[in-house]
Structure 1
Amino acid sequence: MFRPGLFLISLLLGFSAQAAVWSDVNAWSPAYENRFAEWVRTEWRTDFFSRKTLPNGQNNPYYGLRVDCADTVYSMRIVFAYENRLPFVAQDPTSSGKTLSNKMSRWDSKSEIERVRNFLVFIYQTMSTRSLPNDTYPIAISRDTVRSGALILTTKKNHHSWTIKEILSIGVPHLVYNSVVGATSGFGLQERQSWPNPEWVFEGDFSPAGHAGLRGWRPASHINKPVWEVPGYSEEQYRVPLNKWNRYVQGRLALRQETDNQMISRLLKMSCVGFTERIPSVNEGLAYIKKNSRCMDYATYDTYSTPNRDRRVYDDLMSLRRAYREILHINGGNQLSAEIVAQLNKIFPAIQQSAANEARMMTAQGGVSSASVCVTEYLPGRRIDLAEFKRRMFAGLISNNPHETAEYRWGEARGPSQRARSCQSWDAWSPDLKD
């Protein structure tokens, strides 16, 4: 027998399920948080958005999404929530006291995966590093909390973030992230295995009010509430002296110690990654000015300039230099391989001097040798190694100004050029050789 009441209820339930981005039938719990951490450790890869097919041969539903640093962080949480039928709730940064969630119904005429992709793009357009403090909280320094799925956030001044894919046994994070994207950026993410410079992470406000540092995801019930009410809230990381922050945190999280060779190899790799990843970023800026002769506005300049990227490369080189000096002081470098010593001495030919003195003493490297590291073609037909790039950077030749041509961007000539002087610039960076 036909029952109109039951039919109406069924119709409404079907419409409701269709209207949501996805239906959440599960609830976040410690078990699901553990599953989230394991999923990030095993599945959160640099090709997450760039691979067209999955290992099982199916099409990648997230292929082609273009993300910046905050987008990467939000994507990590949203995708897992969707694939496990969990809720995703975030504070709406455009409306006080409101939230954004998977229950939004603006795409109910589309298929489920189309709704998910539209929701992700909507979040990318709405959220940023400025909204992340509303949806996360500072965590204690332990392997139970600083683990896969957590994140690192900088202060507002440097507006950057990283997802933590894993904490390695040596107490160092494997970070997956992305930088500001341009019109021709690819879909791949970036990665590094080292702590970022805490002076840059916490620049301008080394306190809970600066929102920087190690953070975890707030439960939905604590969105739009004071952050100190979140279970697990901790200010431990703000009580560590800034100049000892990396060493302290790594010591708390380490299960074993690195050998000297392992540490130097890791730091060399990070410096090389930063140097080589600079190339496509600079090329995007060069391609832009080739087609657009006018001075850039702030938004365009911010897209194609590289002050934060260049500072991170500099920080990595300084971390490598400090590590080498410390090893020489402790044991004379007798645990380092001869190959690594030769590589380090090419990059830091006056290691016993201050960085400023070394920069003044260092001359052009004269091409590639057997001791060269990270030999790279940075412009068509032009190759340098990490030692020569370091020389140019420490000498203040490398330019992060996107109004400059290739010669100035890569330190073949000292700027600013006439073009750069005639256009407004913002957030210029140059190395401060303190030690």
Structure 2
Amino acid sequence: MPFLVLLLLIFFSTPSFSQPMKESPHQIWKVGDRRWTVEEEVQYGKWVEKNITEDFFIRYKIPIDCADVPYAVRWIYARIAHLPAAATTKDGKWIGHWSSEWGKLPTHSEWHKDLRFRKALFHILTETTTRTLPLDTYPVGIDRDSITPGTVFFVTESHSGIIGRLILDGSSIHPLQTWEATSPVKLQKMSERDFLTPRPESTIYSGLVKFRWPIFEKKQWKYLPVMEHPFYSLEQYSGSFSEEYTDFVQAVAKRIDPTDYDPWEKIERVLDNTVQYVRERVPIVLAGYKRCQKGGCPEGSDLWSIHSTPNRDGKIILLMDHLHHLIESNYFHQDAAKEIMEEISIPIQKGQSVTFSHVYQNYLWLSPHPEDSIEARWGLKKCEMILSQLRNTQNSIAFIEKTYRRRDPKYADFSVRQQQEIIRKLIEEWDRSQCKVAPLPSKKKEDEKIR
């Protein structure tokens, strides 16, 4: 309750930042007469779309978690553009570009070499969370003018990210593409995902939001009142917002891109987009193999985070599933789509290529591990991967038996049955793929266990 009271007080008021306009040589950066405007928000969106990539924070050595992404991206751009920036800390304090706590550190014209800015940024990222986002943002209308790259989305006290780009040609699962990170804080690649979030809460103003504008008034920095921001709207919290749609996510999609696409045109566009995304994986895999083929990139290490592809492969799985659904639900276009996929060649290394059809049929068997061979990374070592997963599943069963059999036999039985079902499916895939070396355990023995 105290937190909600604080939120309401800040959200509908203009908290002051006691700082005269005369800029101190010790503040984080100077803004002069630069201020946020609609045009500056447009420029911010263009910068986000052009510059933010999955490895952005790795390149600049900034450890992050999910809540850090919105704050870090906004502050970095504000620093580059010499625009005002502010943030509310977990204990209710306000920090801004005017703060002078780091004044003894040197500055630099380039933000990533600016020690004063980097120190302040790291402090801000440790002192802000998804709980502070409602204090620094305001809800926006769900339309193309309001939802631009850099727009924030967040789930109450749970998860957050930013809109990375809008795809308005029907080639994606959802027109809004997001950049997201995971907990805990670490040096990590971000995931590019299709917008997916539960219905926002009006009590905390979660959902799709933008950062509030710091303004200088009466010799003090303060936030522009929420309702005076140009994109302000409460429409996403209306009970009628999602009435005609399956859920909030679909309602957002239709407001951003209301076009009803021809089925074949939709298949072609999703296919082209998926092919492009798969092609972008090629140099990433090659670079990872070059660096990690002799070891030194164990799972969980910084090098593994840099060169592995679990997030990208997860996106490929979603795109392939979406493409599969489109093709299978349009019977008259199935043969044509499959012919096109057979004709698309993807060079995976010098002297070796795979067809897109191969990737389409084996996307679940792409290895994300940078120490694996190029063939394994592209699903050409499917039998080896099945065998590896069989061994891992057997190890899981052994762990369950050792840990839970005496302590909780019912849970042990339940868990073992789940693992046995995984083994059954793996053995079926082994047989379907005509793998020649008998897997362990044998299909006969595993069937007997399941019975």
Q: Which TM-score bucket, shorter chain as reference?
A: 0.5 to 0.7
2:38 corresponds to 1:30: yes
> Counterparts of 2:400 and 2:280 in 1: how far apart (Å)?
28
Do residues 82 (structure 1) and 68 (structure 2) align? no
1:372 paired residue among 339, 344, 358: 358
SS in structure 1 of the partner of residue 334 of structure 2: coil
Could you say which residue in structure 2 is the equivalent of 1:9? none
Give the Cα–Cα distance (whole angstroms) in 1 for the partners of residues 224 and 75 of structure 2. 21
Q: How does 1:104-183 map to 2 (within 5 A)?
A: 104-112=99-107, 113-157=114-158, 159=159, 161-170=160-169, 172-180=175-183
| 2-structure distance, mates of 1:211, 1:272 | 39
Distance 1:36 1:314, change over 3 A: closer
Aligned residues: 338
Residue 329 of structure 2 is matched in structure 1 by 329
Contact 2:213–2:223 (CA under 8 A) maintained in structure 1: no
Q: Secondary structure at the match of 1:261?
A: helix
Q: 1:410-435: CA deviations, max 9, x gaps?
A: x64326366678899xxx9999xxxx
Residues 69 and 162, structure 2, Cα contact 8 Å, conserved in 1:
yes
RMSD: 5.2
Residues 266 and 181 (structure 1), Cα distance of their counterparts in 2 relative to 1, 3 Å cut:
farther
Matches of 1:246 and 1:389, distance apart in 2: 37
Going from structure 1 to structure 2, the CA distance change for 1:286 and 1:50 (only over 3 Å counts) comes to closer
Mapped to 2, the partners of 1:341 and 1:245 lie a distance apart of 37
- In the alignment, the residues of structure 1 paired with residue 177 and residue 381 of structure 2 have an alpha-carbon distance, to the nearest angstrom, of 25
Give the percent of matched residue pairs that are identical in Structure 1 and Structure 2: 18
What whole-Å deviation, never above 9, does each CA across 1:278-305 have from its counterpart, x for those lacking one? x99xx765669xxxxxxxxxxxxxx9xx
Please tell me the residue identity of whatever aligns with 1:416.
S
Aligned to 1:416: 396
SS across alignment from 2:161: strand
> 5+ unaligned residues in a row in structure 1: which ranges?
1-12, 52-62, 289-302, 304-308, 344-367, 398-406
TM-score when normalising by structure 1: 0.59
- Shift, 1:129, TM fit: 2.7
CA offset at residue 235 of structure 1?
3.2
Note the C-alpha offset of 1:79: 1.6
TM-score w.r.t. the length of structure 2 is 0.57
* Equivalent position of 1:216 in the other structure: 210
Q: Quote the offset at 1:109 in angstroms.
A: 0.9
- Cα offsets for 1:180-231 (capped at 9, x unmatched): 4676x46xx4353x524x3xx22xx653346553222223369889977866
Do the aligned residues in 1 keep the contact of 2:85 with 2:213 (CA within 8 Å)? no
Which of 254, 257, 264 lines up with 2:257 in the alignment? 254
Q: Which amino acid aligns with 1:116?
A: F
Offset of 1:15 from its aligned partner? 9.7
* In 2: Cα distance, 1:218 partner to 1:14 partner: 19
Letter aligned with residue 209 of structure 2: R
1:401 corresponding residue in structure 2: none
The CA deviation string for residues 117-167 of structure 1, in whole angstroms up to 9 with x for no partner, is: 11111111111233223222332221101112212323434x2x3322321
Distance 1:225 1:270 in 2: 40
- 8 Å Cα contact 2:180-2:191 kept in structure 1: yes
Measure the CA separation in 1 of the matches of 2:120 and 2:70: 15
Query: Residues 206, 377 of structure 1: CA spacing in aligned structure 2 closer, same or farther, 3 A cutoff?
Result: closer
Tell me the amino acid that sits aligned with residue 396 of structure 2: P
**Cα-to-partner distance string for 1:289-341 (whole Å, 9 max, x where unaligned):** xxxxxxxxxxxxxx9xxxxx88x977874664355234432344355242538
Give yes or no for contact 1:138–1:214 (8 Å, CA) kept in 2: yes
- Structure with the greater alpha carbon radius of gyration: 2
Q: What is the 5 A alignment of 1:17-416?
A: 17-25=24-32, 26-51=34-59, 63-95=60-92, 98-112=93-107, 113-157=114-158, 159=159, 161-170=160-169, 172-180=175-183, 185=187, 189-192=189-192, 195-196=194-195, 198=196, 201-202=197-198, 206-209=200-203, 212-220=206-214, 232-236=232-236, 239-240=241-242, 243-254=246-257, 257=261, 259-266=266-273, 317=317, 320-330=320-330, 331-334=332-335, 336-340=337-341, 371-373=357-359, 375-376=366-367, 378=369, 380=372, 384=376, 412-414=391-393, 416=396
Distance 2:38 2:384 in 1: 50
What residue ranges of structure 2 are gaps of 5+ in the alignment? Answer: 1-19, 108-113, 216-220, 345-352, 405-414, 422-451
1:270–1:243 distance in 2 versus 1, CA, 3 Å: farther
C-alpha contact 1:138 1:233 (8 A) present in aligned 2: yes
Letter in 2 for 1:233: S
Residues 90 and 220 of structure 1 are in contact (CA less than 8 Å); yes or no, is this contact kept in structure 2?
A: no
